[in-house]
Amino acid sequence: MTSANISIDGKAADYPVHAGSVGPEVIDIRKLYANTGRFTYDPGFTSTASCESKITYIDGDQGVLLHRGYPIEQLAEKSSFLEVAYLLMHGDLPSQQQHDEFKYLITRHTMVHEQLANFYRGFRRDAHPMAIMCGVVGALSAFYHDSTDIHDAKQREIACHRLIAKMPTIAAMAYKYSVGQPFLYPDNSLSYTGNFLRMTFGVPAEPYIINPVVEDALDKIFILHADHEQNASTSTVRLAGSSGANPFACIAAGIACLWGPAHGGANEAALEMLREIGRPERIPEFVARAKNKDDPFRLMGFGHRVYKNYDPRAKVLGEAATKVLDTLGISDPVLDTARELERVALSDDYFIEKKLYPNVDFYSGIILSAIGFPTSMFTALFALARTTGWIAQWTEMMEDKEQKIGRPRQLYTGSPRRDYVPIEQR
Ligand code: ACO
């Protein structure tokens, strides 16, 4: 095993260097504080591996994303969302029998407790779907007590199945509530994605006919959002879970983190930005704003902490956007604006030097909008899909013998010790 020698104040010590199957090695600095009395300082964890994982691998410089070793492009083209969920949870692609059993299990958990509908009715009609999702998913732990013992592997598995199965029902109910239509119960004869489309856009008064192009495009979007290594929301789920919180509470924490515009909320912000730009002639004005240090404006859907190359998911979605709009016969000037913005930004020195490329959020909103989703639902759909990654990562953490409560340290720059002064003497 190689080691790294770190010397401070003339005192040197060796630290083990661990190699993964691919990707950068890591320096194991767990003994650093004991040896030196110093912490490492890494706000935003830009150089810190927080855990060992076998689920997802990203090479940000090459623009590579692998789930359990399989390239995302192959999964998006050949697989289905439920199969990818199985892959993330179990480590390998399922046999036909395993696939059928998994589908049966997920399908049998799609309904939610009838009383959960009362939670929705407590929200304002104009509540953001992500606000509803945070509340309702967290509340699941109050309904499914038989799957909250995190030390029981069977209960953990049932909780995971419940979360994958119920997220479409919960997200569709959030949409139905916002438009004042009745909730629709799941139809278990449909595919995972088809069932979600029907619960969202169907009404009890007439049959809902699923458009296979829309079903396929949405399934692809779900696959592309299923997992993404130790991103902010996944790290939040792991951190929440590290204290022993139940999985429903942990996923609610992940949803809260995903909501932010620097993370999952960027898909909503990207489409709003493209609509605000409106037409290709206005692009230079917005590109100039994005480059101006004194203007907080950023090109939404551009840039990524890890990808310093084209986000492979954006490539798949860019192509899917054209196909979906063509097939649905929709001509949306926003797609032309997006394509031109991408062209202008990718030939601009500012974006080239900083290695800023379109990310997954740049094109997804255009497709979701063409399907008929309001922008406020975009991040809820992201949460629905990412739940599979969150629970796979949470399960992996629960089975990890090295797992400890997550507890970072800090560089304290506040006041040193001082004595309390009574209010009349201040
Ligand atoms: N537009 C303009 N400039 C940008 C952008 C952008 N979208 N993104 C980064 N930059 C610039 C920054 O101003 C900074 O410049 P500086 O070095 O001169 O100060 C430099 O590029 C590095 O940016 P950081 O914010 O330090 O990079 P970080 O890795 O912390 O941020 C992030 C990554 C948050 C994704 C950022 O690129 C961003 O805000 N993008 C827009 C929001 C977005 O699309 N988020 C979705 C991410 S994908 C996902 O979560 C699913």
pLDDT digits (tens, 9 = 90+) for 49-79: 999 999 999 999 999 999 999 999 999 999 9
Q: What mean pLDDT value characterizes the chain?
A: 94
Question: By three-state DSSP, how is residue 126 classified?
Answer: coil
355 Cβ closer than 6 Å to some ligand 1 atom: no
225 Cβ closer than 6 Å to some ligand 1 atom: no
Neighbours of 137 (CB within 10 A): 25
90 Cβ closer than 6 Å to some ligand 1 atom: no
Nearest to 365 by CA among 335, 329, 337: 335
Sign of CA dihedral 220, 396, 108, 139: negative
Structure tokens at 194: 């088809």
How far is the C-alpha of 100 from the C-alpha of 98, rounded, in Å?
Answer: 5
- Is residue 178 within 8 A of residue 125, CB to CB? The reply is yes
Give the DSSP letter string of 229-297: TB-HHHHHHHHHHHTT--HHHHHHHHHHHHTSTTTTTHHHHHHHHHHHH-SGGGHHHHHHHHH-TT---
State how beta strands 3-8 and 56-59 pair.
unpaired
Nearest to 236 by CA among 40, 57, 406: 406
Longest CA–CA separation in the chain, Å: 79
- Residue 279 is predicted with a pLDDT of 87
Mean pLDDT calculated for residue range 366-378: 93
How far is the C-alpha of 263 from the C-alpha of 269, rounded, in Å?
Answer: 10
Residue with tokens 């300082």: 41
300 CA distance to ligand 1 middle (Å): 9
Mean pLDDT calculated for residue range 140-151: 91
- Is residue 299 within 8 A of residue 288, CB to CB? The reply is no
Structure tokens at 225: 């959002």
pLDDT at 375 over 80: yes
Nearest CA to ligand 1 atom 20: 354
Residue with tokens 């929440």: 240
Name the residues annotated as catalytic: 304, 361
Nearest CA to ligand 1 atom 31: 305
pLDDT at 1 over 80: no
362 CA distance to ligand 1 middle (Å): 13
Closest-lying ligand 1 atom to the alpha carbon of residue 231:
50
Mean pLDDT calculated for residue range 117-137: 95
pLDDT at 372 over 90: yes
pLDDT at 336 over 80: yes
Rounded to two decimals, the pTM is 0.93
- C-alpha angle 371/374/379, rounded to 5°? 95
226 Cβ closer than 6 Å to some ligand 1 atom: no
359 Cβ closer than 6 Å to some ligand 1 atom: yes
Which residues make beta-bridge pairs with 57?
66
- The preferred substitution site among 302, 306, 351, 390 for testing ligand 1, maximizing ligand atoms within 8 Å of CB, is 302
How far is the C-alpha of 204 from the C-alpha of 199, rounded, in Å?
Answer: 10
289 Cβ closer than 6 Å to some ligand 1 atom: no
Mean pLDDT calculated for residue range 210-220: 93
Amino acid, res. 4:
A
Question: By three-state DSSP, how is residue 421 classified?
Answer: coil
